[in-house]
Amino acid sequence: MSGPTAIRHGTRSDYMAHRRRGEAACDACREANAVYSQKLRGRPARTPAHERILDLLETYFGEWLSADQISLMLGLSRNTICHALSRMPSWRFEVRTVDTGSEARRFAERREYRVRVRSYL
């Protein structure tokens, strides 16, 4: 059996070679593995939902928008909106809870969002 071969770096197979050796993978190999995994799962490299949501909130700067309103404007599901907003840094926007007066406990409150700081891009 021959000794370990040199790793070239930047491919999925090279990432696996790092793993077999018990080494931490380099950045190029980790990136190649991430691209491979995303293609395998059939997902885009990055979901643009959070950027689209922030762009919309900046367009309506100073106004409160509910997840339902954002959903209708962007054509995204309400769950996608809520998930994306929950993963964003809180300094970018603020949240308030509004009592709708509904009898059903589940729908008694509605969250609304607005941008705190405009981006400088």
Structural domains in the chain (count) = 2
pLDDT at 1 over 70: no
Q: Is residue 120 part of a domain?
A: no
- pLDDT tens string 5-62: 677 788 888 888 888 989 888 888 888 888 888 787 776 555 577 788 888 888 887 7
Residue 30 confidence (pLDDT): 87
- For strands 65-66 and 109-115, give the pairing: antiparallel
**Which has the closest alpha carbon to 114: 83, 98, 92, 99?**
92
- How far, in Å, CA of 61 to CA of 119, rounded? 11
Name the token pair of 7. 């790793």
Domain with 65 in it: what CATH number?
Answer: 1.10.10
Beta bridge partners of 93: 115
Do 32 and 56 share a structural domain?
no
What does R_g of the chain's alpha carbons equal in angstroms?
A: 22
pLDDT in tens, 57-115: 888 877 888 888 888 888 888 888 888 887 776 666 777 777 766 555 555 566 777 76
Amino acid at 38: Q
Query: Rounded to two decimals, what is the model's pTM?
Result: 0.48
Handedness of CA 32, 36, 38, 43 (dihedral sign): positive
Shared domain check, 95 and 38: no
Domain span at residue 13 reads 1-45
DSSP element (H, E) containing 95 = strand 93-99
